[in-house]
Amino acid sequence: MLQFPSISIIGTGNVAELLGQRLLNAGCVLSSVIGRNQHRLVQLSSDWKCNIESIDAISGDIVLVAVSDDVTIEIIEQIEQNKIVFYTAGTIDINLIKHPLVGVFYPLQTITKNRIPKIDSFPILIESEHPEVIKKLNSIAQLISNQVSVCNSIERNKIHCIAVFINNFSNHVIHIGQSIATKEKIDFSLFPSLLKETFEKLNEMNAKEAQTGPARRNDIETISNHLNLLTESEKSIYLALTNSILTTYDHDQL
């Protein structure tokens, strides 16, 4: 029978919960959970049937650090030097961390509180300078993903930036649309089929080919009509995106 290493998880947020549960479901032994939120510690330790520990007394063979980027390095450098440590931050260069057995375990997915991603598998990007750590990273990542890639810190930072455009910025633009709909008393239930088709057709063509709309066809009259409907902050975003589209399709900027 395959024997998995025991894992301690530092963190009680969305990423820690998702990865911890998927690793547990895959047969890994979750030894303990460490964090500052006592309520969440009790909840996760109960769900995972594991211990609550402190950072200076970690029992797991491997430590998964799933905390905010601004404290990741500080936490890793407190962990015993003989422990293998994985961290989940997308933009922290591995060369900045002074720990001999450190590796990256970056899930390329949007993870939101109180929502489990419906997709069964998502890419996991791994990195380490230590052969033993890479081997462990790969074997554990393969348990929960069919898309595991070795990726250095420079590439990962670029991938993270692309993800911000694709996910965070598109989500924010949809938020603006929802806000306008609310302000103008327009039923937003008109739009989900449009949203679904917007993203589904990207499975069949690239985004440049899929682009439609007034900026794509250089329809200045429609663009002007839209600008008259918007607040100053909404106009600035509309114009920035419109000018980017106009440039992409060889039209003059406004």
Give tens-digit pLDDT for 58-105.
999 999 999 999 999 999 999 999 999 999 998 999 999 989 999 999
Q: Tell me what pLDDT residue 115 has.
A: 72
Angle between helices 170-183 and 232-248 (to 10 degrees): 130
Give tens-digit pLDDT for 13-33.
999 999 999 999 998 999 999
Segment 236-250 mean pLDDT: 97
pTM to 2 decimal places: 0.88
**What does the domain layout of the chain look like in residue ranges?**
6-151, 157-248
Say how far apart CA 168 and CA 138 lie, in whole Å: 28
CATH of region 6-151, choose from 3.40.50.920, 3.40.50.970, 3.40.50.720, 3.40.50.1220: 3.40.50.720
* Domain 157-248 grouped into CATH 3.40.50.970: no
- pLDDT band, residue 118 (cuts 50/70/90): low
Say how far apart CA 156 and CA 127 lie, in whole Å: 9
- Asked whether 122 and 141 are in contact (CB, 8 A), the reply is no
pLDDT(121) > 70: yes
Say how far apart CA 138 and CA 135 lie, in whole Å: 5
| Residues written for the chain | 254
Segment 30-52 mean pLDDT: 94
Say how far apart CA 111 and CA 124 lie, in whole Å: 13
Give tens-digit pLDDT for 163-186.
999 999 999 999 999 999 999 999
